[in-house]
Amino acid sequence: MAEKLLLRALAGETLQTPPAWMMRQAGRYLPEYKATRAQAGDFLSLCYNPDLAAEVTLQPIRRFGFDAAIMFADILLIPQALGADLWFVTGEGPRLSTITSQADFDLLKPADPDVVHEHLAPIYETLRILSRELPDDVTLIGFAGAPWTVATYMIAGRGTPDQGPAHALKNGNRPLFEALLERITEATIEYLSAQIDAGAEVVKLFDSWAGSLKGDEFRRYALEPTKRIITELKARHPNTPVIAFPRQAGEAYIGFARETGADCVAIDNSVDADWAAANVQIDGCVQGNLAPSHLVTGGQALVDEVRRIKAAFSGGPHIFNLGHGITPDANPDNVTLMLETLRS
């Protein structure tokens, strides 16, 4: 384990060449992923088939030699475990039954460990398979959605451009909104803890819509739930690092690791790497933050930006990654170029 570059960076070590992986590295930009998904039949069937989920997790490791593999799953499996209806519309994304009233909330299951673990048992089996099959130098990452982001989907029933339905419920029925956030938080603690028991060496919290919370609401509904989850995970698994990703937090990235206990803060590509090095990396490891568009366009601009980001974070612990997930139109050859540039 001491040889795993990602774990060394998360422990605070400054490495000449940072470890690298990509959000959504197992995904639609790879032809082998498309073939495996077709074999599974649909997206959710792929998530809940441990053999096939492990296979798509391993595909980018075989092709590119990343330093970490993130298990293949989806952040909306937690709502489904709690009793929400979940389905995916081809070309449009996820759909859920909505939580907009007390009656809707009362239909949810409790965040009981047995409830969570029974539904999500295939995910833990995926991790056990990966623990056996990954190369010895590759770190295994588990993950969950942060409570605010998961709540936005449960309230709206889908992704929205401004998280308007979640803000409306928050402003119009604060007790119900906070009860939902509490239920998600409790379930997430149990889910991530079980992932670690199943073999995850690192876990990551994706708060993809954190940036739409401002001021005190960012603290109450993004920072505080993250802190609570990390505190509980550290009590149960003190040696397991946690990466937090409060996407588009802007100035609120400053101090986020220190206040939540996260071992690393992932930053999106809306903030400059030099700014993040001066203001965020001073508290420890930073992950990021190449714009995913560079893996579509490639060329010298990609090479220059990889070098710039590497140089900006060279004074402290850094995990090279994108500022958001790789897009379906990315060229796999550009991923190769990215890694060759980083490691040259």
The values of phi and psi at residue 53, to 5°, are -65, -40
Residue from 24, 183, 228, 247 carrying the catalytic annotation? 24
22 neighbors 335 (Cβ within 8 angstroms): yes
* Continuous H helices in the chain: 5-10, 31-40, 43-47, 50-64, 77-81, 102-106, 113-133, 147-156, 164-172, 174-198, 216-218, 224-236, 256-260, 273-279, 294-297, 299-312, 332-343
Structure tokens at 127: 């991790």
Asked whether 66 and 4 are in contact (CB, 8 A), the reply is: no
E strand or H helix at 144, and its extent? strand 139-145
Told to judge if 253 belongs to the known catalytic residues of this protein, a careful annotator would answer no
Q: How far apart are CA 235 and CA 230, in angstroms?
A: 8
Catalytic site residue from 28, 128, 158, 308: 28
Cβ atoms 52, 39 nearer than 8 A: yes
71, 200 in Cβ contact below 8 A?
yes
Strands 93-96 and 86-89 come out as antiparallel
Give the active site residue among 124, 153, 191, 253: 153
226: exposed, middle or buried (C-beta count within 10 Å: 0-12, 13-18, 19+)? buried
Write out the two tokens for 32.
């082998």
**Active-site pick, 8, 29, 37, 268:** 37
Catalytic residue among 74, 104, 137, 197: 74
- Whether 74 is catalytic: yes
Residue 37: active-site member: yes
Active site residue 63: no
- Taken in order 169, 171, 177, 182, the sign of the CA dihedral is positive
Question: What is the residue whose two structure tokens read 């939902």?
Answer: 180
CA 236 to chain centre: 21
Alpha-carbon distance of 126 to 92, in angstroms, equals 26
The set of catalytic residues is 24, 28, 37, 74, 153
